[in-house]
Structure 1
Amino acid sequence: MTAVVLPALPRVLIAEADPWSRDLLKQVLLNVRCDARLDVCADGHEALARLAQNSYDLVIVDWELPGVDGLSVLRSVRQRKHSPPLPFILMSSRNDSASVREALPLAPTAYLTKPLNMEGLTQRLQGLLLNAGEEVFCAVPALAAGMTLSVYLERRREITDGAPLMMDVQRAIQRSLNPAGLDLTKLYDETRSDPQITAVLVAAANSAAQHHGKAVQTLSQALHRLGSGQSMNLILGLALKRSARLSDPFLADYAERYWGLSLHTAEYARKLARLLDLDQDRCYCAGMLHRLGDLALLRCLQEWKQAGGELDEREEVGNALAEFGAGYGSELRTRWRLPLELRELIAAVYQLGGGVYSREALVMNMAAQLALLTEHEGIEELARSRTARLLKIGLPELMRLRKK
């Protein structure tokens, strides 16, 4: 039998309604074939339209697509009688024998149940997208001629992947495993101090495919809504993205400082909320996310350098953070559709607007001020502030908070 030789640049169609699952599939696939040409869509009608217009080397479709379901898409593909048959991976949350028997006559290349087994999916993709012994390497795309840092950062703002990871996710997952599987309580303890993981999981838990009832506003709520399998997949998927960790020492040092400020703000917010009998987890989450934009910008600066751009490390980094950091954070929180109530708490970290303030907003503003105090600065002035008066917190309480 003659071996099938794959094209130099395989073209792949991914049809998945949930944006975060769709992004995860893209990252896993590009990790196997970084040069693959990807088309993505969110419903069955568009999948059928793309299949009619283009030739694909692999199709990955979710059964539960809106409009036309994935099984109907598979049926349409098989009716065209490709030779050899077009590789087709059908995904589904249905793991019952009746659903499997319904799909098998249409000969899917693989029937994968959700949450996906990432290792198994990767092995499937390697077998379908790589010739025997083949390795694929992709260079970082060079900057366009005449590109300036300011223009680059302005364009990247709308497509940034968010902040770099501030922890080893593989280690966090391993430490959260026990003989019965993934312990969500341990996973929360391992990941709650990472802004990127927190933001992505909260956003994913609020996506259309997951949203049932009240909005999710904390990492703990997100983990329990998503479940152990999907939570683990999304966290591991973050590590597959380009520049997931900052390798540049200077930029990594900046990131450590902003991360430290996030941690201090989150901890002060949690302590204040506990003192005032408010939602500790929500206040902690808001504090953790308030520097997300600055961290995302540092990640983009690393990508600028990797693409061949020059960077005056002190002056240009400081100017870029001052000019774009807040905008990056606002863009991410809006594009990822973080709940409005959570965004309002994050905004309160920076300033209190006009009108009536919630007690949690006041807590966030006070926590930010406490986090910015240096070791040698007193807190007497903070104790006399309007925020302290509205919260009815005096100097003794603030001093105890700083000592803990």
Structure 2
Amino acid sequence: MTVADSPSEPRVLIAEGDPWVRDMLTQVLLSVRCDASLQVCADGHEALSALASQPDLIIASRELPGLDGLDLLRSVRAKRRQPPLPFILLSSRSDSASVREALPLAPTAYMSKPLNMDSLRQRLEQLLLSAGAPVACSVPPLPASMTLTRFLEDRRATADGGPLLADVQKAVKRSLKAQGLNLKVLEEEVRTDPQITAVLIAAANSAALHHDGQVQSLLQALNKLGSTQSMNLILGLALKRSAKLNDPLLSGYAERYWALSLHTAEYARTLARVLELDEERCYCAGLLHCLGELAVLRCMQEWRQAGGELDETSIEVALEQSAAAYGSALRTRWRLPLELRELIAAVYHLGGGVYSREALVMNLVGQLVHLPAEAPLDAVVESKAARLLKVGSSELKRLHKA
């Protein structure tokens, strides 16, 4: 009997040490069986304890912290369950000796990292889908007493971030060349998307890859992750719920915040180049500074999908009340580099103490982007950031009109 033959929703155990690969596996699995009951573990000992829940399928990394995935598979096979419990073993070790070591334990599949998403999906479809059997997953309705404020407070700690603003499928297709995925082309295709930029930078700085200094730009992240893992993570983002905003009212707000993000990023890059500073890091900080607003908009789409009411007033109040907290929570939870977080914060205000020149740049462009096109620049020229950078009115006028 395969998992698909089970009359109830499948119970799936995912054991993976890297948080971003763990999230990607979750999204791929839910895209195949949205009704699956998931138990997600970050280390082998936790996964071993989770066997008591009697999963119908296990997806585990061989390189798990604590007890490794091969020992986990060995424990599963020692129970001599019939038919054997489906077990997909993932590993960064694809040499013949490593594969031969696992074969006597009869893994259902031995898949090399970086993963081939299409192969993984096909294998999951074989295991989890009965031929012709539809899988329907409805959005649970909101409790009668739930308010939008409470809903957003509850979602803040687990929010997925902002919606995707780039066309992911088109970007990947354009980046695929005869010799494989061209990372430079992919960077050009997705560099304007705040969500993709933030996630790839966070993934490149995760514990599994953290060496040789921190990554603080999209191109650095792509080069560190490599073509396959970069593509997997980007495609995985597209599988998440509310990855795209389909509500016209919410998507209109998202377009405005996206335009503001791009405007800030371009200003920051231009000024950093003039001052011979790190223009790519300044560009990223500008691009990511509205991620909190975009994340709130994405959560409000989930609110509406669950039956909640929205109008312009409630959207604007929610953005004012929740955006800053959402942005801060995401940057902290994703462990974006401290230097990058400080530059993002500088768009809004300069804290006390010593300022880096990049932070002064971000504060200055933060003031500029909120000025109407014909407004006088006097206050910006006299600001602390302009004075410390020794940027005069002529330079600011050229930047503001660019």
Q: TM-score, normalised by structure 1?
A: 0.97
Question: What are the within-5 Å matches in structure 2 for residues 5-404 of structure 1?
Answer: 5-51=5-51, 53-311=52-310, 313-404=311-402
CA deviation profile, 1:118-162 (whole Å, cap 9, x unmatched): 111111001101112112010111111211111111111111000
In the alignment, the residues of structure 1 paired with residue 234 and residue 252 of structure 2 have an alpha-carbon distance, to the nearest angstrom, of: 23
Q: What secondary structure does 1:326 align onto? A: helix
In the alignment, the residues of structure 2 paired with residue 226 and residue 45 of structure 1 have an alpha-carbon distance, to the nearest angstrom, of: 27
Q: Percent identity?
A: 66
The answer to whether the Cα contact below 8 Å between 1:164 and 1:243 also exists between their aligned partners in 2 is yes
Q: How far has the Cα of 1:352 moved from its partner? A: 0.6
Q: Which amino acid aligns with 2:324?
A: A
CA deviation profile, 1:290-328 (whole Å, cap 9, x unmatched): 0000000000111101001111x1111111000001000
In the alignment, the residues of structure 2 paired with residue 173 and residue 7 of structure 1 have an alpha-carbon distance, to the nearest angstrom, of: 37
In the alignment, the residues of structure 1 paired with residue 43 and residue 60 of structure 2 have an alpha-carbon distance, to the nearest angstrom, of: 9
Q: Which amino acid aligns with 1:38?
A: L
Q: How far has the Cα of 1:217 moved from its partner? A: 1.1
The answer to whether the Cα contact below 8 Å between 1:294 and 1:328 also exists between their aligned partners in 2 is yes
In the alignment, the residues of structure 2 paired with residue 304 and residue 4 of structure 1 have an alpha-carbon distance, to the nearest angstrom, of: 32
In the alignment, the residues of structure 2 paired with residue 103 and residue 3 of structure 1 have an alpha-carbon distance, to the nearest angstrom, of: 22
The answer to whether the Cα contact below 8 Å between 1:16 and 1:43 also exists between their aligned partners in 2 is yes
Q: How far has the Cα of 1:3 moved from its partner? A: 11
Q: How far has the Cα of 1:358 moved from its partner? A: 0.9
The answer to whether the Cα contact below 8 Å between 2:373 and 2:400 also exists between their aligned partners in 1 is no
The answer to whether the Cα contact below 8 Å between 1:6 and 1:130 also exists between their aligned partners in 2 is no
Q: How far has the Cα of 1:269 moved from its partner? A: 0.4
Q: Which amino acid aligns with 2:256?
A: R
The answer to whether the Cα contact below 8 Å between 1:6 and 1:131 also exists between their aligned partners in 2 is no
In the alignment, the residues of structure 2 paired with residue 2 and residue 384 of structure 1 have an alpha-carbon distance, to the nearest angstrom, of: 71
Q: Which amino acid aligns with 2:26?
A: K
The answer to whether the Cα contact below 8 Å between 1:269 and 1:287 also exists between their aligned partners in 2 is yes
Q: How far has the Cα of 1:2 moved from its partner? A: 11
Q: Which runs of 5+ in 2 are unaligned?
A: none
Mark the CA change 1:58 to 1:2 in structure 2 (over 3 Å): closer, same or farther: closer
In the alignment, the residues of structure 2 paired with residue 356 and residue 106 of structure 1 have an alpha-carbon distance, to the nearest angstrom, of: 59
In the alignment, the residues of structure 2 paired with residue 61 and residue 3 of structure 1 have an alpha-carbon distance, to the nearest angstrom, of: 17
The answer to whether the Cα contact below 8 Å between 2:2 and 2:128 also exists between their aligned partners in 1 is no
Q: How far has the Cα of 1:57 moved from its partner? A: 0.9
The answer to whether the Cα contact below 8 Å between 1:258 and 1:291 also exists between their aligned partners in 2 is yes
Q: Which runs of 5+ in 1 are unaligned?
A: none
The answer to whether the Cα contact below 8 Å between 2:373 and 2:401 also exists between their aligned partners in 1 is no
What RMSD in Å do the two structures reach over aligned CA positions?
1.4
In the alignment, the residues of structure 2 paired with residue 156 and residue 207 of structure 1 have an alpha-carbon distance, to the nearest angstrom, of: 23
Mark the CA change 1:284 to 1:4 in structure 2 (over 3 Å): closer, same or farther: closer
Question: Bigger CA drift: 97-106 or 18-27?
Answer: 97-106
The answer to whether the Cα contact below 8 Å between 2:3 and 2:10 also exists between their aligned partners in 1 is no
The answer to whether the Cα contact below 8 Å between 2:43 and 2:65 also exists between their aligned partners in 1 is yes
In the alignment, the residues of structure 1 paired with residue 300 and residue 68 of structure 2 have an alpha-carbon distance, to the nearest angstrom, of: 41
Q: Which amino acid aligns with 2:148?
A: L
Q: What secondary structure does 1:350 align onto? A: coil
Mark the CA change 1:205 to 1:2 in structure 2 (over 3 Å): closer, same or farther: closer
Q: How far has the Cα of 1:46 moved from its partner? A: 1.1
Q: How far has the Cα of 1:336 moved from its partner? A: 0.7
User: What stretches of structure 1 move > 3 A for 4+ residues in a row?
Assistant: 1-4
In the alignment, the residues of structure 1 paired with residue 359 and residue 3 of structure 2 have an alpha-carbon distance, to the nearest angstrom, of: 64
Q: How far has the Cα of 1:365 moved from its partner? A: 0.6
Q: How far has the Cα of 1:378 moved from its partner? A: 3.0
CA deviation profile, 1:354-380 (whole Å, cap 9, x unmatched): 122111000001111121122222324
In the alignment, the residues of structure 2 paired with residue 237 and residue 13 of structure 1 have an alpha-carbon distance, to the nearest angstrom, of: 19
